[in-house]
Chain A
C-alpha cells in the first residue's frame, strides 16, 4: 500500500438546511394543528390508535432528525433508546405503580443519560463507523432486555403487559381518545422546544458541526460537548416516544424493538426530509401506512412492493417531503405574483 495518507475533502453527509426552512409557516402550522385536533372526533377508535402511533413514531423520527439533520451524526441505533424508554415506563407503571404521565420524564432523563454516555465513544467515530457502532447498539438491545439478570424487572422474553390509563377527572373520553390528546400535547410541546433548540445558540453550534466540524472547532465551538449533547437530546426524546409507545400498545417485549424499528425510523427521516422537522410526521406516516398499502397490493410480495414504493419516493423526491414543501411554496409564490 502507498505510504501516502489519503486526503479527502469530505462532503458533509447532510446538506445544509437554512434555519428558516426548518419549520412551517404559521398558516400551515395552524391548519395541520387543527386537523390533528379535530380528526379524532370523526373517526373510529382504531384510527385514533393509528394516529397516536403516528405521533409517537413522528416524535422518534423528529429525535433522529435533531441528531442527523442538526448535528450531522448518523444513527441506526434509535430503537435501542426507544426500547429503554418503553421499558422504563412499563417497569415503573407495573412494578412501582407510578402514574403513567410521571414515567415519561423519567424515561426521557434516563435515555438522555444513556445517549449522552453513548455519545462519548461515538465522538471518535464518523460516517460508516458511527453507523456500525449504532447498528451494534440496536442489535444488542433486544439481547440485553432478555438477559436473565434483569428478568425479574423486564419479564425476560415474555415481556410486560401495561395497563392503559383512563381519562382523568371523569372526562367523557374513551381511553384511546384521551391517550391521543395526551400524546398530541406532548408532541406539540417537544416540537416547539426542538424548533427553539435548533434556533438557539446550541442549535447554531450543532449546525456548524454538521456543516464542517473542523471549521466549527476553529471558531471555538466545543465540538465534543455539543456532539454528545445532540446524542443525549435525541435519545431523550426517543425515550419519551418509547414510553408513550408502551402505553399505547399496552405491551413491551424484546421482539418489539429490533433493528427493524431502527431502520424504519431512519427511513422515516429520509422520506420526511433530513433536517426538516415538520417532515417527521410525513416520514412517520410513511413507515406506518406504506407497509399496509404494500400488503394490500400483494401479500406474498409485500416486502417487494414496499421496496418499490420506497424507490419511487426517493426517485421522485430525493430530498423527501421537504422538497415537496419547497415546490409547493414556489408554486404558491408564483400564483401570488400572477
Chain B
C-alpha cells in the first residue's frame, strides 16, 4: 500500500512535467487546429536561451521573464516567416514544415550548446515538500505554476475578446473573418503564446530531466498524449490528462507483472487510445459535429 501511494505521488510529480507541456500543446491547437511537432524543440531552445543568460550573470527571474518575452516574439516570427506562406498549402505539407522546423532547431541547439547535459537551476529549491521526499519543493512549485497558467488560459479564452476571437479563428475561419476578426494575426498570436508557454514548461522541466538538446523528445510524446486524453479543446482536461498519464504509467510499470516495466509507455498509450475509442473527443473535449 505504501508503494502504491508512493507511486501515485511520484506519478503526480512526473505528471506535472507532462501537464506543463500539454498546456502548450492545447494552446497551439486552439490557435491553428493542429499539433506542432516542433513545439518541444522550441521549448528546449527557449530554455537554453535562459540558461545562456544566467551563464552571463542575469538573475533567474529576469532571465525567466526575458525568455518568455523573447519566446513569444520568436513564436510570432516563426509563424510570419515560415508558416504564413504555407497557409494555403495542404495540411500535410504544414506537418512536413513542423518536422523541418524540428530538425533545424534541434541541430542548431546542438551546435551552439553541445550535447552534454547541463544542470539547470530551480527557484523553488529541491528539499522535500511537506515532509514527503517523493515530491520536492521544485515539483510542488511546478504544479503550482502549471495551475496558475491553467487559470490564466481559462480566463483568456473565456473572458477576453481576443481569446474568443482566437477560438473562433481556429474553428471557423471563414465565419470569423466575416465578423471582422483578423484570423491571420490570431494565428500568429497563438504561435507566440504557445511558444511562451512552452518556454515556461521547458524552464520548469529542465531542473528535473537536465538541459540538453534532446530533452524534449520524450516529453513531447507524453505531452501530446496527455492533451489528447484530456481533450485538445480543454486546458483543464490537458492538465488532468497529464497527471493521469503520469500516475497510470507508474502504476503500470509497478503492478503489471512481466511486461509492465518494459512496456509502460505502450501500455499507457494503448489505454489512451481505448479512451479515445469510447470518447473520441477526449475526457473533457466537446464533441464535434460535422457537416456534409
| Beta-carbon contact of A125 and B276 below 8 Å | yes
Is A27 located at the chain interface by the 8 A CB criterion?
A: no
Given contacts A139-B265, A274-B92, contact A301 B86 (CB under 8 A): no
Given contacts A124-B276, A143-B263, contact A271 B292 (CB under 8 A): no
Contacts of A190 in B (CB 8 A): none
Given contacts A10-B290, A125-B276, A303-B106, contact A132 B93 (CB under 8 A): no
Interface string of A122-162 (1 = CB under 8 A from B): 00111011011101100110011011110000000000000
A300 (CB) vs chain B CBs: closest residue: B111
| Beta-carbon contact of A13 and B92 below 8 Å | yes
| Beta-carbon contact of A318 and B86 below 8 Å | yes
| Beta-carbon contact of A319 and B269 below 8 Å | no
Is A1 located at the chain interface by the 8 A CB criterion?
A: yes
Contacts of B171 in A (CB 8 A): 6, 8
Contacts of B286 in A (CB 8 A): 1, 5-6
Given contacts A301-B108, A311-B97, contact A140 B266 (CB under 8 A): yes
Is A314 located at the chain interface by the 8 A CB criterion?
A: yes
Interface string of A4-29 (1 = CB under 8 A from B): 01111110011100000000000000
| Beta-carbon contact of A270 and B263 below 8 Å | no
| Beta-carbon contact of A125 and B221 below 8 Å | no
User: Which residues of chain A from 301 to 333 have a CB within 8 Å of any chain B CB?
Assistant: 301-308, 310-311, 314-315, 318-320
Shortest CB–CB separation between residue B15 and chain A, in angstroms? 18
| Beta-carbon contact of A214 and B290 below 8 Å | yes
B267 (CB) vs chain A CBs: closest residue: A140
Contacts of A212 in B (CB 8 A): 292
Contacts of B266 in A (CB 8 A): 136, 139-140, 143-144
Is A231 located at the chain interface by the 8 A CB criterion?
A: no
Contacts of A311 in B (CB 8 A): 82, 97, 100
| Beta-carbon contact of A128 and B86 below 8 Å | no
Given contacts A311-B97, A315-B86, contact A215 B292 (CB under 8 A): yes
| Beta-carbon contact of A140 and B263 below 8 Å | yes
**Docked complex Cα distance between A309 and B132 (Å):** 51
Interface magnitude class on chain A: 35 or more
**Docked complex Cα distance between A144 and B85 (Å):** 41
Is A263 located at the chain interface by the 8 A CB criterion?
A: yes
| Beta-carbon contact of A267 and B262 below 8 Å | no
| Beta-carbon contact of B97 and A15 below 8 Å | no
Contacts of B277 in A (CB 8 A): 121, 124-125
Is A87 located at the chain interface by the 8 A CB criterion?
A: no
| Beta-carbon contact of A308 and B92 below 8 Å | no
Is B161 located at the chain interface by the 8 A CB criterion?
A: no
A123 (CB) vs chain B CBs: closest residue: B277
Is B52 located at the chain interface by the 8 A CB criterion?
A: no
| Beta-carbon contact of A147 and B108 below 8 Å | no
**Docked complex Cα distance between A128 and B104 (Å):** 23
Partner pick for B221 among A121, A124, A135, CB 8 A cutoff: A135
Contacts of A68 in B (CB 8 A): 92
Is B23 located at the chain interface by the 8 A CB criterion?
A: no
Shortest CB–CB separation between residue A197 and chain B, in angstroms? 21
Interface string of B106-133 (1 = CB under 8 A from A): 1110110000000000000000000000
Contacts of B153 in A (CB 8 A): none
Partner pick for B107 among A131, A274, A301, CB 8 A cutoff: A301
B101 (CB) vs chain A CBs: closest residue: A307
Is A266 located at the chain interface by the 8 A CB criterion?
A: yes
Is A81 located at the chain interface by the 8 A CB criterion?
A: no
Interface string of B51-83 (1 = CB under 8 A from A): 000000000000000000000000000000010
Contacts of B99 in A (CB 8 A): 263, 266-267, 307, 310
| Beta-carbon contact of B95 and A266 below 8 Å | yes
Contacts of B270 in A (CB 8 A): 136, 140
Is A74 located at the chain interface by the 8 A CB criterion?
A: yes
| Beta-carbon contact of B101 and A270 below 8 Å | no
User: Which residues of chain B from 119 to 151 have a CB within 8 Å of any chain A CB?
Assistant: none
| Beta-carbon contact of B96 and A133 below 8 Å | no
Shortest CB–CB separation between residue A17 and chain B, in angstroms? 11
Contacts of A274 in B (CB 8 A): 90, 92
Given contacts A5-B289, A8-B171, A274-B90, contact A302 B96 (CB under 8 A): no
| Beta-carbon contact of B104 and A308 below 8 Å | yes
Contacts of B158 in A (CB 8 A): 1
| Beta-carbon contact of B292 and A214 below 8 Å | yes
B154 (CB) vs chain A CBs: closest residue: A1
Given contacts A6-B289, A133-B276, A144-B266, contact A270 B102 (CB under 8 A): no
| Beta-carbon contact of B280 and A307 below 8 Å | no
Shortest CB–CB separation between residue A283 and chain B, in angstroms? 11
Given contacts A7-B291, A143-B262, contact A306 B103 (CB under 8 A): yes
**Docked complex Cα distance between A74 and B258 (Å):** 33
The 7 A-B residue pairs whose C-beta atoms are closest, nearest first, are A303-B107, A318-B89, A140-B266, A307-B104, A136-B269, A307-B103, A304-B107
13 A-B pairs whose Cβ atoms sit less than 8 Å apart in the complex: A6-B287, A8-B172, A121-B277, A129-B280, A143-B263, A149-B258, A266-B99, A269-B92, A300-B111, A304-B107, A314-B96, A318-B86, A319-B93
